[in-house]
């Protein structure tokens, strides 16, 4: 018998797409803190935690494990969409966006999906441009079909068109990534841009371009200033505020076009005071109340 919910809470348990350990515990920490009860009518999709593979190419660290987690997530997101549930994906490092976007691109058609990517990074390196070889910096390039076939996790190599990509809050972007963003026709508002114009103005500028599209919100907690959120592997100064994130999420959800919400890079092992957990529960509460 199907156990369907209004929302689907999907675990994407991985940290080896990044250099730090701990994000694979985010789902367990937030579930233990009461996230399912907060969401109410929710169908949970937990995921087995895989040991990081030990052999991999130097420019694709932990390739097999990263791809396997994204494959499992893709299957779960597709199941949720087919059941009419609203997907809330909880990473994990940002490599898991490959799995989410594989499902969305297949289900809706790549040309129908726009991504609002709240992140300090652009995550659009390929395995040829990445200095670190960490796949959490390649997920958007993979979704746009720019990476090796080994990073294709579903049926389609292309699940996102660069022109439908909107990065907000970027401030740690590698030189080759600027070229790729430009070539792909993506839109970037750096954290400085958001600070100068205000998030409301930025949203006024991008919302018309999103008309008629399904919107995937991919929220990396490192988009926030370290004074606002510190329980994550990267602490990059001059970031966004919680007020910026709340406004973006509420305005985007208010369009009625949001098809999925994703939160990544929360590391509960770095959350000594529990403030990160409390702030994320508050955010998920806002998301589920506002999602039309």
What CA–CA distance (Å, rounded) separates 203 from 275?
A: 27
Of residues 85, 93, 222, 262, which has the active-site annotation?
222
* Least separation in angstroms between CB 265 and Mn ion: 6
Q: List residues bridging with 90 in a β-sheet.
A: 11, 263
Least distance from C-beta 172 to Mn ion, angstroms? 10
Taking alpha carbons only, the member of 120, 152, 174, 148 closest to residue 59 is 148
Residue 11 CA to residue 176 CA, distance in Å, equals 32
Residue 121 catalytic? Answer: yes
Select the residue interacting with Mn ion from 94, 157, 216, 251 (CB under 5 A): 94
Q: How far is the CB of 22 from Mn ion (least distance, A)?
A: 15
Is 220 a binder of Mn ion (CB under 5 A)? yes
Which residues, numbered 29-88, are part of the site for Mn ion (CB under 5 A)?
Answer: none
The helix/strand/coil state of 288 is: helix
Q: Which of residues 95-154 bind Mn ion (CB under 5 A)?
A: 119, 121, 123
Is 45 or 234 the residue whose CB approaches Mn ion more closely? 234
64 in active site: no
Neighbours of 42 (CB within 10 A): 19
Locate all alpha helices (DSSP H) within 83-198, ordered by sequence: 97-108, 139-143, 175-184, 191-197
Distance between CA 164 and CA 206 in Å, rounded? 10
| Residue placing its CB nearer to Mn ion in the complex, 43 or 187 | 187
Which residues contact Mn ion (rule: CB under 5 A)? Answer: 94, 119, 121, 123, 220
Q: Which residues are catalytic?
A: 94, 119, 121, 123, 136, 220, 222, 265
């Amino acid at each position: 018998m199907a156990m369907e919910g209004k929302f689907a809470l999907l675990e994407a348990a991985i940290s080896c797409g990044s250099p730090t350990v701990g994000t694979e515990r985010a789902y367990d920490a937030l579930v233990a803190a009461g996230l399912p009860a907060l969401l109410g009518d929710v169908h949970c999709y937990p995921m087995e935690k895989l040991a990081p593979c030990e052999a991999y190419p130097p420019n694709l660290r932990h390739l097999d494990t990263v791809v396997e987690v994204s494959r499992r997530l893709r299957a779960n997101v597709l199941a949720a969409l087919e059941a009419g549930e609203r997907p809330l994906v909880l990473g994990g490092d940002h490599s898991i966006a490959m799995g989410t976007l594989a499902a969305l691109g297949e289900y809706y058609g790549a040309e129908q999906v726009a991504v609002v990517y709240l992140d300090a990074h652009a995550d659009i390196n390929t395995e040829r441009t990445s200095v670190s070889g960490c796949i959490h910096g390649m997920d958007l390039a993979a979704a746009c079909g720019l990476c090796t076939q080994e990073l294709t996790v579903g049926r389609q190599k292309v699940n996102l068109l660069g022109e439908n990509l909107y990065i907000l809050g970027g401030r740690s972007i590698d030189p080759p990534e600027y070229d790729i963003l430009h070539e792909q026709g993506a839109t970037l508002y750096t954290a400085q841009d958001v600070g100068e114009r205000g998030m409301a103005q930025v949203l006024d500028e991008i919302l018309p371009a999103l008309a008629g599209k399904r919107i995937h919100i991919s929220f990396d907690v490192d988009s926030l200033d370290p004074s606002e959120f510190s329980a994550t592997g990267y602490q990059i100064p001059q970031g966004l505020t919680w007020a910026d994130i709340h406004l973006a999420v509420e305005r985007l959800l208010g369009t009625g076009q949001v098809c999925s919400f994703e939160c990544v890079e929360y590391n509960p092992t770095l959350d000594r005071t529990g403030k990160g957990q409390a702030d994320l529960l508050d955010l998920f509460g806002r998301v589920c109340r506002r999602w039309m």
